[in-house]
Amino acid sequence: MNTTNDLEKKYKPYVIAVSIAVPAAVVVLFNVSIEGVDLGFLPPIYAGINGLTALLLILAVVSIKQGKKERHQKLMTVSVGLSLLFLLCYVAYHMTSESTVYGDIDHNGLRDASELATVGSSLYIYTFFLLSHILLSLVVLPLVLMTYLKGWSNNLISHKKWAKITFPIWLYVAITGVVVYLMISPYYA
């Protein structure tokens, strides 16, 4: 029978590989353009997935604080699955659609001086949320996988330490995904 340490040693290389492969695949796929497929309906769906993920993360923390370990495990597993679904939808949308420019009122793909004046300082707020969301999504992937592995392998002391770091970052990424969508949605063509 595997001990906690054996399980972590066995699966840690997979966590590392996935943590490298997923961002690399996203970069490659963002440079792929599929013409003639309209997935313009996806942004509100993947924003909703982010919102649901945030809610489930909060419920998972409440569950574990109430001593409901099985509910916590199920909620976390669903949260991981939703994050994967979000990523698939997000990449599929960007492979089939032109990037939307924040503030592009006339939908010509450019933000001219009058449009810039209209959006004003909200552009800085949007850019902050977008960049922090993207950068932290890269950081949170290995954190989520390692935290999940530690919980799955029953290394609960280490799992709890990792979760204290992972949870707020993951929650921030999920919430800012919704904020970014709400801010840019008026500019979708």
CATH of the domain at 124: 1.20.120.80
User: What predicted TM-score, i.e. pTM, was given to this entire model?
Assistant: 0.91
User: Distance (Å, rounded) from C-alpha 36 to C-alpha 99?
Assistant: 16
Whether 11 is in a domain gets the answer: no
Q: Which of 22, 32, 28 is nearest to 95 (CA)?
A: 32
Measure the CA dihedral 118/122/128/134, to 10°.
-70
Which 8-state DSSP code applies to residue 185?
G
Q: Is residue 9 part of a domain?
A: no
**Structural domain containing residue 173:** 39-99+111-187
Q: So what's the pLDDT on residue 4?
A: 63
pLDDT confidence of residue 99 = 87
Locate 105 and state its tokens.
Answer: 């009122």
Per-residue pLDDT of the chain (189 residues; tens, 9 = 90+): 456 678 888 999 999 999 999 999 999 988 899 999 999 999 999 999 999 999 999 999 999 999 999 999 999 999 999 999 999 999 999 999 988 999 999 999 899 999 999 999 999 999 999 999 999 999 999 999 999 999 999 999 999 999 999 999 999 999 999 999 999 999 987
Q: Considering the domain boundaries, does residue 153 fall inside one?
A: yes
What domain count does the chain have? 1
**Would you state the pLDDT for residue 5?**
79
In a domain, 166, yes or no: yes
